[in-house]
Every structure is written in C-alpha cells, then in structure tokens.
C-alpha cells in the first residue's frame, strides 16, 4: 500500500514549513527511518524521515515551496504499486506563485541557452552581468557579437539598487512578524533602578566560580519574569482560534540574533529552576547554535523576553510571538543622577517594556504585572527562594 509522507507539527505555533532540500529524489529506494527532506519552520531546520521502506514514487513540493502542516510532501510506493490520486487542496496561492516562478526561471534559462552568441561575446556578457536574452544581435542570422554586448551595456547602465526575494528563514521571520502586527497590542514602559540588581549579580560571581559560569543580567531577568508570571498566570497563555489557553508550566523563550536570523529558544519549567540552572541552559543553547537547533528547542513557549541592553536602544515596542500573549523588552543601561537624603548620587537604570495582547489582558492587570517584575528586579536576592 502506498504511504504518504506528511509535514508534521512540532509546536502549537507551527502552521507551515519551507522545503529547503530534498535528500532523496523520485525513483530512489529508501528504508524506513531514512532522512528524506530538510524543512524549515519557525527558524528551525529539521529533517523528515521516511515512514516506510519502498521507492519514492512522487515528490509533491519542490525546494523553496511552502507546505502546510498535515499536507503530503511525497509518496512512498511498495513493490508493484502505482501512484494514487493526490489532492493537496489547501495548497496556498503563495505555493502556486512559487511554482510559477520556478517554471518561469526554467523557461528563461532555456531561452538564454538557445541564443546565438560568439564565445567572446558570451564571456564579456558574463563579466558585465548582462542578460543576453535582451540583446539584439547584429551578426549573421542575428548572432550576438561582442560589440553588441558593449553597446547594450553602455545604453543600459546598471542601477546601484539590488533587488532580492526573501526566502528561507527570512521568509519565516517575515511571516511571523506580519502575524504579530495583526495583534491589538499595547506596550507599557517603566524605568527601573538596577543598583541592587547589579550588586546581586556581583555576589553570584563568587558563588558560581566553582561552576565556571559568570552570571549575566539575562540569567536573573528570566527568573524575575518567571516569578512574576506565577502571580499573574494569565500572561502564561496562548490566544488561538478565539480561545485563551493558560498553562501551568512557565516556558520562557529568549530572543537573540543568531547567524540564521532571529531565534527564540525556550527554557522550559523556569518556575522550577534556579538562576544557575537557567544560566546553564542558556550556555548550552549557545553551543547548540553553532551546530544547529532542533524543533524541540523552540517548542511550547508561553512567554518571551528580548534584551537589547547591549545596544544604543533605550526602550522599544517588542512584537509578540503568537500565539503567546506577551513579551518583555529590556533597553540599555543608563547612568543618571538622583537625590538620596539630600545628597546627589549616580545610579544605573534601564527602561523595560511590556507588550501584551489587549484581547486577553486589560491595562490595569498588565500594569500590576509590570510592577511585580520591577519588584523582583529591585529585590533580586528573593527570586531564587
């Protein structure tokens, strides 16, 4: 019996994936468990295995196309089997557009290969990056000469602008950010003093020395945020299909810029972890980034944090990672004067921005949640208790 290879779902927020590379081709014999195709979804590269042994009878999506979760990517045939009728009726217009582009590019390539042109002119056109299909030849039977290439190039100077179609991970990021922009979100901004926070971080330096880990503000902030979410669990929710689902496990994703683009790996069960346990996971993710993340590293996030403290940004409106209902943004650390018992002193401070989905949470409880986060930052010694 023919076996369908479906696109699986690796997380609640996954709706589709881009076909990056087929590792097998039509007609190839495969064994159960063989890697068939590399796909990309939510900034994750993953390989899909063959569910059965047999021969690849049909590949339904070409490289670069986008498939929805649950759609058939390929068909595995057993001995003496023929192809069944396949209807991926929900194939998007975007997929059709991609397919049309591929066919168009193939046609253009054939046109270029059939053009009559001298070897010298072809070499010159390549050096000048001139499309030979646009040149009218003046040689015998319309053959393109090197003078034709030179004349065309002088009459059509190249623009300094570069146009590029987005694909791969950039395409995934663009789609997710477009979805986020549709959320009726509100951002609350507050400034928090960091002196006690920084002092506690210095205390942890000596305490963690034997672990050979140097504490960062990110380690502490994630625990501060997790403790606040415990008191305001509505922020530990997903809003999907007009339904609010609140979770017991607090799984915090932290956004950072990796080589492949913006990624948000998830630290699971932060409510049960100490600061140093959180720190160890972050350090482990730094190592994994070099070898490649897997889908499970990004799945099941319930809230996110994005930290721009190392930049020149004071405060900003972070975009929610749907279907989550909130995200916390951290700006750079500032030095500012203040009066302490009549004496002028200097202190460190930063702006923190809470963006929340107003369909799920109203302004006042969001303000109280932000207040709880600030309370934890002001008294960091209590967050690990």
CB atoms within 10 A of CB 142: 13
Q: Does domain 96-155 have CATH number 2.60.40.10?
A: no
Distance in angstroms (rounded) separating the CA atoms of residues 86 and 84: 6
Q: Which of 368, 353, 383, 348 is nearest to 193 (CA)?
A: 348
- The structural domains of the chain, with segments of one domain joined by +, span 3-94, 96-155, 183-382
Topology adopted by domain 3-94: OB fold (Dihydrolipoamide Acetyltransferase, E2P) (2.40.50)
Prediction pTM value: 0.64
Distance in angstroms (rounded) separating the CA atoms of residues 41 and 66: 10
What value does the CA radius of gyration of the chain take, rounded to a whole number of Å? 28
CB-based contacts of 231: which residues, under 8 Å, 6+ apart? 369, 372
**Could you list the pLDDT tens digit for every one of the 385 residues in the chain?**
688 999 887 665 667 888 888 999 999 999 998 999 988 876 566 789 999 999 998 999 998 888 888 889 999 988 877 776 555 554 444 555 555 555 545 544 554 445 578 878 888 888 888 877 778 788 876 778 888 888 887 766 654 555 555 555 556 666 667 777 789 999 999 999 999 999 999 999 999 999 999 999 999 999 999 999 999 999 999 998 889 999 999 999 998 887 767 788 999 999 999 999 999 999 999 888 877 777 788 888 999 999 999 999 999 999 998 899 999 999 999 999 988 888 898 999 999 999 999 999 999 999 999 999 999 999 998 888 6
Distance in angstroms (rounded) separating the CA atoms of residues 31 and 76: 10
Topology adopted by domain 183-382: Chloramphenicol Acetyltransferase (3.30.559)
Helix axes 119-128, 146-155, angle to 10 degrees: 20
CB-based contacts of 88: which residues, under 8 Å, 6+ apart? 60, 67, 71, 72
Distance in angstroms (rounded) separating the CA atoms of residues 69 and 6: 8
CB-based contacts of 38: which residues, under 8 Å, 6+ apart? 19, 20, 21, 22, 23, 45, 46, 47
Cis preceding-peptide flag for 323 (omega within 30 of 0): yes
Distance in angstroms (rounded) separating the CA atoms of residues 332 and 310: 6
- Under DSSP, is residue 84 helix (H, G, I), strand (E, B) or coil? coil
């Amino acid at each position: 019996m023919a076996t369908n290879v479906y696109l699986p779902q690796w997380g609640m927020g996954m709706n589709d994936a881009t076909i990056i590379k087929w590792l097998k081709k039509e007609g190839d014999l495969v064994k159960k468990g063989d890697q068939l195709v590399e796909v990309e979804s939510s900034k994750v590269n993953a390989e899909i295995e063959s569910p059965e042994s047999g021969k690849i009878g049909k590949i339904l999506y070409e490289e670069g196309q986008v498939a929805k979760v649950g759609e058939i990517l390929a068909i595995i045939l057993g001995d003496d089997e023929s192809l069944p009728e396949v209807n991926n009726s929900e194939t998007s217009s975007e997929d059709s557009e991609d397919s049309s582009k591929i066919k168009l590019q193939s046609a253009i390539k054939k046109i270029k290969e059939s053009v009559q042109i001298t070897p010298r002119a072809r070499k010159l056109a390549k050096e000048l990056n001139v499309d030979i299909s646009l040149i009218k030849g003046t040689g015998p039977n319309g053959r393109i000469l090197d003078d034709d290439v030179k004349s065309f190039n002088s009459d059509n100077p190249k623009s300094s602008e570069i146009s590029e179609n987005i694909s791969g991970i950039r395409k995934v990021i663009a789609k997710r950010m477009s979805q986020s922009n549709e959320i009726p979100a509100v951002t609350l901004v507050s400034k928090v003093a960091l002196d006690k926070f920084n002092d506690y971080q210095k205390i942890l330096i000596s305490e963690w020395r034997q672990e050979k880990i140097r504490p960062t503000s990110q380690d502490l902030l994630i625990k501060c945020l997790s403790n606040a979410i415990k008191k305001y669990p509505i922020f530990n929710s997903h809003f999907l299909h007009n339904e609010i689902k609140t979770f017991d496990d607090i799984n915090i994703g932290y956004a950072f810029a990796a080589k492949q683009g913006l990624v948000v790996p998830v630290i699971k069960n932060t409510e049960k972890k100490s600061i140093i346990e959180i720190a160890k996971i972050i350090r482990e993710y730094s190592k994994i980034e070099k070898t490649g993340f897997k889908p499970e590293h990004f799945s099941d996030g319930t809230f996110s944090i994005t930290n721009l403290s190392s930049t020149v940004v004071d405060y900003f409106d972070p975009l929610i990672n749907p279907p989550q209902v909130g995200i916390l943004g951290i700006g750079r650390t500032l030095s500012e004067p203040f009066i302490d018992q009549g004496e002028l002193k200097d202190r460190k401070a930063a702006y923190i921005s809470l963006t929340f989905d107003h369909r799920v949470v109203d302004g006042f409880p969001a303000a109280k949640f932000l207040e709880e986060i600030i309370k934890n930052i002001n008294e960091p010694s209590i967050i690990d208790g």
